[in-house]
Structure formats: structure tokens, C-alpha cells
Amino acid sequence: MLITEQKLNHWLDNFYGYGSWQAQFWFIGYEEPGGDVPEEVADKFNYFFDAHQKNSPTLCDIREVYEHVRITPENPKAELFSNRFDYRFGEKAIESTIWKNLAAFVHSYNQKPEPDLFAYQKKHFAQPGAKREALIPLYPLPGSHTHSWHYNWLNLAGCDFLKSQDRYEEYVYSQRIQTILSKIKEHKPEVVLLYGMKNINGLKKSVQDFFEHVQFTIGKGIKLQIPQHHRADLNGTTLIITTQIPALHHNRVETGFDWKQFGALIKAGR
């Protein structure tokens, strides 16, 4: 399936993730996942172009999007799932360790009993109407789990910035971060957590350029408990930036952190 310049640019300009701008928690990851298979990328672009034609920063219903993203026959998951909705939200869904840890963070921060987190993923996580979580990629193109750059082969006439990942990130960053910060100022979420970030100093400068007189503090990391993080108060919104990803790498407990404990710590103002 072809990826067209029109639909790619519409995605770059207007797709900001999933959930609601009115959500209490905004979880901002480095990039949109799911960029290993061109057909999956094209399905996302095509669906978004057809369903959200207005040129404005848009958050989608993740369950609705995933229903339109096929799992191709060559994918080992095709034996069990026909689309991404089945894979993450259906009866035989697979639990996401990232979403599990973010949901644990939410319930701990809100000082509420932790539910069955897998059931919460399937029924409630990032539901737009619930206004609890928004999932927002800093960079919108779906990225590969191997961190390879798969877009230089597209050869689209007006998209020279796709020749390398560095050029693409430089091309979209300024408008992207300005829009996200503007939305924070407008909607005032309680917590904004940027995780898996690389250019911490650049992000902090962008925040300080937008919100005058903002100062960051550094939260010290504690092995297997709390990731090192940078914290700022944006007129009532707690902003947290960390390089760490809320997942256990290769399911090894020694490489992760306790995101439930992290939520309690942020609630306590530390």
C-alpha cells in the first residue's frame, strides 16, 4: 500500500496522539509506535486522513484507530489477531508493559486502589470520554522497535526531510513542541510526563522559552525504584521529564523502575 505525500503531511501536521486534551494526565512518549511494517503505517495515515480532515491538532480514540490497522499475514501475530485492536484490546489481547506502568502511576498519584491493570488497559486506558490519560508522541511518525529509520525509501518529492531521522526531527520539533506547550497552557492538565526523552536540555529550554521564569529541579534516581527526572511547575501543571521508559527491557526486573512508587512521589511534591 502506498504512502502518499498528502496523507503523510496531514498526519505530521495534525496527529497528536490519543485520548482527550482535557485529560488529567498527559503521557508524552518520544515517538508513535508501530513503524516496523509499511502497511501498518499506511493504514494509520489513511484512516486519519479520512476520519479527521480538519487541519487542527487532533487527539484520536485509540481503539477506533487500532480497528483500522491490520496485522499483515507475514506477522507472527496474524495467527491470533486480525488488527491492532484485537492485539491490545480484544479478548485475547496482549498486555502492554508501558501502559501497565502508566496506569499504575495514575492510580498511585490519585491515591486510589490499583485495579486489575490488564483489564484497565482493555476497557479504560486512554478512553477520550474518561479524560484520565492522553498518549501524545513528541515525534508523530511511527517508529521502529529496532530504532531503524525506514522512511528514507519513500522518495516523496516534497519530503526531503525524511532522508534521515535527524533531519525529520529538526523539521517537526519547533512546531510540535510549541503546539504541545500551548495546549498545556490552555487545558492545564494536572501532570505531564515526558518519558524516553533524549535531548533533555533542549526540551527544558523550549519550556523555559514558552513559560517565563520556570525553574527545573532534578529528582535523583533510585535504582529499581525512581527514575532520575526533571520537574517544573507550569502554573499548576506538574511537568516531569525523564530519559527512562516505563517498561521492563526484555522483561528483566533489574532494568526497570517502580512507576507506582514514582506516581506517589510526584503526588507528594518530591
- 125 within domain boundaries: yes
Q: Are 45 and 8 in contact (CB under 8 A)?
A: yes
Residue 228: give its domain's CATH number: 3.40.470
CA of residue 200 relative to chain centroid, distance: 16
Q: What is the pLDDT of residue 146?
A: 85
pLDDT tens readout for residues 176-207: 999 999 999 999 999 999 999 999 999 999 99
The sheet with strand 15-18 has its strands ordered as: 58-60, 15-18, 133-143, 25-33, 191-194, 237-241, 229-234, 217-219
Q: Is the pLDDT of residue 1 over 60?
A: no
Q: How far is CA 110 from each of CA 190, 234, 245, rounded to the nearest angstrom?
A: 11, 19, 21
Give the pLDDT band of residue 251 (cuts 50, 70, 90): low
Nearest to 15 by CA among 59, 78, 77: 59
Residue 207, domain member (yes or no): yes
Say if 91 falls within a structural domain. no
88 in a domain, yes or no?
A: no
Which DSSP category does 191 fall into? E
Over residues 51-81, the pLDDT tens digits come to: 999 999 999 999 999 999 999 887 888 889 9
Number of domains in the chain: 1
Does residue 115 sit within a domain? yes
What pLDDT is stored for residue 65 in this prediction? 98
Whole-number Å distance between alpha carbons of 65 and 79: 21
Q: For residue 135, give the 3-state DSSP assignment.
A: strand
Domain containing 129 equals 5-39+46-65+96-267
Model pTM?
Answer: 0.96
Is 54 within a domain?
yes
From residue 103, give the alpha-carbon distance in Å to each of 61, 77, 120. 17, 25, 8
Q: What is the pLDDT of residues 214-249, one digit of tens each?
A: 999 999 999 999 999 999 999 999 999 999 999 987
CA 235 – CA 239 distance, rounded (Å): 10
Residue 81 lies in a domain: no
Is residue 80 a part of any domain in this protein?
no
